[in-house]
Structure 1
Amino acid sequence: MDVDSKTSPPASVKVSDDVASTRVYNSEVDTSAVDERKLLWKLDLALIPWLSFLYLLSFLDRTSIGNAKLYNLEADLHMTDNQYLIALTVFFFSYAIFEVPSNVFLKRLRPSVWLSLLMLLWGVMMTVQGLVHNFGGLVGMRWMLGTFEAGLFPGVNYYLSCWYKRSEFGIRAAIFFSAATVSGAFGGLLAAAISDMDGIGGKPAWAWIFILEGLATVLAGAASFFIIQDFPDTAKFLTEAERTFVIRRLQSDDQFSAAGENLKWKYIWKSLLDWKTWIGMIVYMGADMPLYAFSLFLPTIINQLGFRATPANLLTVPVYFFACCITCLVGFLADRYGHRGYFNIGFLCIGCAGYIILVASRNAALSYFAVYMATCGIYPVIPNTVAWVSNNVEGSYKRSVSLAMVISFGNINGAVSSNVYRAKDKPWYRLGHGLVLMYIVIGIIASTTYHFALRAENARRDRGERDEVIGESGDPDLDARNEKNGRFDSIKEAKTEKGDEWSGYRYIL
């Protein structure tokens, strides 16, 4: 992994200061009996399956409108194609606006309460979406759906980063995100099955898709109050020794704030002013706009290649199954070997090739094959980018805001994806494919920039250019040189105050 193994203090730091400044979390608690492998397995079983299920429902609820469109949604609500695109677009504005404040609330409140409440409310909005009678009602429900769904994805990614080491987070983020691919496959199957309810209770098939999926979300939200765990230091399913062990292993992984951190506005400002946040936003945008374009319009694209509504929905299933497999594989390999930037660049290039084929192809079979290539530049890149950004931000509040900003900026570009697959461009949708291709190229450029910028910063730290003055080093010349990087009484204070800007912190490439 591209993380410097350097553990010795900077030249201006005395080793005695380092030892004196390090205080073991819950020093009175004996953790010698804790089996780390069994504990990780216990964490995985308690956290990952349910959270993945919640994200499956989340992605299913936001994208099922693409399946519902095939069952006369536009005709029944007397909508034009442009109005349908507007209904898709408004979701992304509210979704992006509320992500950052939601992550701050998540840190301030209990995850078991905040995430569950959000889910319960968006389930209600989803259900009501099936009861609307016109374009205005649909737009209103899409806005509210985006408002309440906003907190889940950035919230859960931040929440998981509070439990696992940096080298363990990627595969968990990938498994969690793979629920989006499963929802794509499941959404097609579910829509095809629910379509048989057309006319029951006087409701058309598209309405039943919204109603039944919304009610399932309401039930899951209610159950989540009892299933979702809180942060490691208060988790009820762990013993005191296990809680202590989790915190200590995170602190050994340079997550200094794992034991808790008080909210200070300077932590949020640090995130806003951090160059890594802004480049990360561009990297994520390069895959997130294609994600929504792909998931919202895949059934329509396949439908326009010559397949009717139900076969088109069913043909999305193997595409999403492949996406799920490749996402989990990349998450595992990136955790094991590091080099997240190389994985991003490589798979974005494969996706780029897929969309070049989609732009140029006039053959249905070739276009369907290219769809599989396109998934490689979208689905594995999303969780890999989230893990990459999270791995390189220290400070719990700073990380929560940085992740929310990155994901929020990517999601606002979902508003673009909602408007690029126009009915007048069917069946080949050259404009839509071309714009998605442009975003993927931007992702390649941004990933390359991020990788080399992190490498350069690590090199500066190796050369001692970021060393701080710790206490009284006794070397006036060295103190004068390092004064610009800050003076601190102890290394603990330097870590707490500077987070990932501390000279001993090394970025993952």
Structure 2
Amino acid sequence: MVDSKDTPEKTSLHQSDETPVQNSPYIADLKQDGLVADAEASSLGSPTFQGVDEKAVLRKMDIRLIPMLSLLYLLAFLDRGNIGNAKIEGLVDDLHMTGPQYNWTLTVFFFTYCVFELPSNLLLKKLRPSRWLPLIMIAWGIVMTLMGVVNDYGGLLATRLFLGVAEAGLYPGVAYYITLWYPRHRAQFRQALFFSAASIAGAFSGLLAYAIAKMDGVGGYAGWRWIFILEGLLTVVVALVAPFAIHDSPETATFLTEEERRFVIHSLRIQNSADSREIDQTNDKFEMRYVLDAFADWQIWLGLFMYWGITCPLYGISLFLPSIIKDLGYKSSTAQLLTVPIYITAAIVAVIAAWVSDRRKQRSPFILFFMAMIGIGFIICLASTGRGVPGVMYFGIFVAVVGIYPAFPGNVTWLSVNMAGDYKRAAGMAIYIGLGNLAGAMSSNFYRAQDAPNYILGHSLELAFVVVGMIATVVLRIIYQRINRKRDAMDPSEYPENPDSLGDRSPLFRYML
């Protein structure tokens, strides 16, 4: 953790401080994107930073930021999804719950999770991430531990509600936090590294639940109770260490030199501009209009359909995968272990796909490709239903999951880099992810106990959401293209006063495709 007394003064950039050159890596990006011509590059006034190696700076940030962020999300996803592992170890029977009651405990989590994401993201912007993120970790770790000692349906329902409150700030907070460090052409790879922790959590959850379930009877507690208790305690322990490993912003990063800090800040300010002019990305003082701007932003509401097309399958699979596999005829211990190869493969594919997407500087083609994989996976599941071929059903689930985990960071990154202004982006991402996660409330009711083992209704609904999401993705790209072309055709004399302060509404801003 960086104490204020050790914090360097916030870096201020002025183009007159440096000498413009043609070989700046970000000028190269602009030329490659076709935003500026070679002859124009030398006159853009983009500063060079003597002795700064871009790759070395990125490695520094990756090493200092990504491992801890990934660990935080691994624990969050582990703690929200381990109820699926606990179910097949006897949770429902011990608490005398019905199938609909179990589904309702899954659903209520997303109500509070959605409501508290926006205020949490605004607090993250206002407070220091090195304090806020560990604080909410301690809160959900305590709630998770208490979940292991509930005695009835009401107790489980209450703990799931409070788990949603505590976990609400993590994913949108970290997704926004990454945009404060990495330019948009570098962001998805880091989002994927961070989000792949979710797929690792899926694999780790199965292995951990398999091992912890062996503690059945220890201390008079059933094995499923120990799953909650031990995983909750692990979260609290990591939260106590987290403040020392989370850095608040590039301006205060002591692991970067003064010149490197200036380089990172400058690269973030020119990343969306058509002519390498700095676009104002910061709102130092909170105003309600930034939140209202986010609520009125058309791209968030259209993008929600894309988000639901990915998150409905994501939560449907993560919450019910052990049960789906068990209902194919495998015993619970085998079902836990069979989830592992699915999630490991998904994590590897997600990272590779994000790296290629960053190199190609394209988002929508990759999102569409992997959403198509999700759809194909569910089609395989539906086609193999009732045919006595559990291996084919397992393969269909495998294909769907391998599509889900690369598509998700792509869609979040795409929307986040197309919003400018810190408070607007913080609010916009919270709204987008918060409302998007209502998909979890929907999909937690797709797989009903009475539909086992075929789950035709669940697979069909997931497929429908994927198709709608793919249509939304295509429409979103078409609109972005039209706006970019319109802005390209504008004469500079038509620009409003101070266009660089208008964020993504500026005629200088170009949407990433």
Query: Unmatched 5+ residue regions in structure 1?
Result: 9-15, 25-29, 470-481
| Structure 1 residue matching 2:88: 3-state secondary structure | helix
Deviates more, 1:153-162 or 1:343-352: 343-352
Taking the aligned partners of 1:310 and 1:332, their CA distance within structure 2 comes to 35
Counterpart residue number, 1:66: 84
C-alpha distance after superposition, 1:319-345 (max 9, x if no partner)? 101111111111111111123111111
Deviations 1:7-62 (A, max 9, x none): 59xxxxxxx9x97xx9x8xxxxx942332221111100000011001100000000
**C-alpha displacement of 1:153:** 0.5
Give the partner amino acid of 1:495: D
Residue 253 of structure 1 deviates from its aligned partner by 1.5
* Residue number in structure 2 paired with 1:438: 464
Could you give the per-residue CA deviations for residues 240-283 of structure 1, whole angstroms, max 9, x where no partner exists? 33222211121231373456632222222221111111112221
| Structure 2 contact 96–152 (Cα < 8 Å) conserved | yes
- Report deviation, 1:97: 0.8
Q: Which amino acid aligns with 2:219?
A: G
Deviation by residue 1:223-245 (Cα, 9 ceiling, x = unmatched): 11211110111223333332222
CA offsets, 1:84-126, max 9 Å, x none? 1111111011111111111111111100011110111100000
Correspondence for 1:198: 216
Matched, 1:98 2:116: yes
User: Which residue does 2:50 correspond to in 1?
Assistant: 32
**Alpha-carbon displacement from aligned partner over 1:167-213 (angstroms, at most 9, x marks no partner):** 10010001100000000000000000001100101100000000000
Q: CA RMSD in A?
A: 2.0
Partner of 2:398: 372
* C-alpha distance in structure 1 between counterparts of 2:174 and 2:291, whole Å: 19
State the partner residue of 1:289: 312
* 1:232 paired residue number: 250
2:358 corresponds to which residue?
A: 335
> Are 2:283 and 2:423, in contact at CA under 8 Å, matched by a contact in 1?
no
- Aligned partners of 1:32, 1:459: CA distance in 2, in Å? 35
Give the total of aligned pairs: 472
Alignment correspondent of 2:436 = 410
Alignment of 1:296-315 (within 5 A): 296-315=319-338
**Contact 2:282 2:421 (8 Å CA) reproduced:** no
Q: 2:457, 2:252 → 1: CA distance? A: 51
Partners of 1:91 and 1:166 in 2: CA distance: 32
| Alpha-carbon contact 2:346-2:403 (below 8 Å) kept | no
Distance 1:376 1:210 in 2: 27
Aligned to 1:271: 294
Q: Is the 8 A contact 1:7 1:504 kept in 2?
A: no
Distance (whole Å) between structure 2 residues aligned to residue 112 and residue 260 of structure 1: 20
Q: Distance in 1 between matches of 2:143 and 2:280?
A: 36
Paired residue for 1:325, among 336, 348, 362? 348
Aligned counterpart in structure 1 of residue 500 of structure 2, from 495, 504, 507: 495
Task: Give 3-state SS (helix, strand or coil) of 1:413's partner.
Answer: helix
Q: Distance in 1 between matches of 2:379 and 2:292?
A: 40
1:479 matched to which residue of 2? none
Deviates more, 1:152-161 or 1:263-272: 263-272
Equivalent residues of 1:422, 1:429 under 8 A apart: yes
1-structure distance, mates of 2:280, 2:216? 54
Aligned-partner Cα distance in 2 for 1:343–1:248: 28
* Match status 1:345 vs 2:345: no
Q: Pick 1 or 2: higher relative contact order, CA cutoff 8 A, min separation 6.
A: 1
Q: Secondary structure at the match of 1:167?
A: coil
TM-score by length of structure 1 reads 0.89
Runs of 4+ aligned residues of structure 1 deviating over 6 Å after TM superposition are none
Which residue, out of 25, 34, 49, partners 1:5? Answer: 34
Structure 1 vs Structure 2: percent identity of aligned residues? 46
- Secondary structure at the aligned position of 1:397 is classed as helix
Is 2:262 the partner of 1:248?
A: no
Please list every run of 5 or more consecutive structure 2 residues that lacks an aligned counterpart in the other structure. 1-28, 38-42, 273-277
1:121-160 alignment to 2 at 5 Å? 121-160=139-178
Q: Indicate the residue corresponding to 2:194 in structure 1.
A: 176
**2:88 is the counterpart of 1:83:** no
- Give the corresponding residue for 2:423: 397
Q: What is the rounded CA distance, in whole Å, between the counterparts of 1:290 and 1:392 in structure 2?
A: 25
Three-state SS of the structure 2 residue aligned to 1:380 is helix
TM-score, with normalisation over the residues of structure 2?
A: 0.89
Q: Is the 8 A contact 1:286 1:441 kept in 2?
A: yes
| Equivalent residue letter for 2:512 | I
More divergent stretch after superposition (368-377 vs 173-182)? 368-377
Between the aligned partners of 1:445 and 1:283, the Cα distance in structure 2 is 8
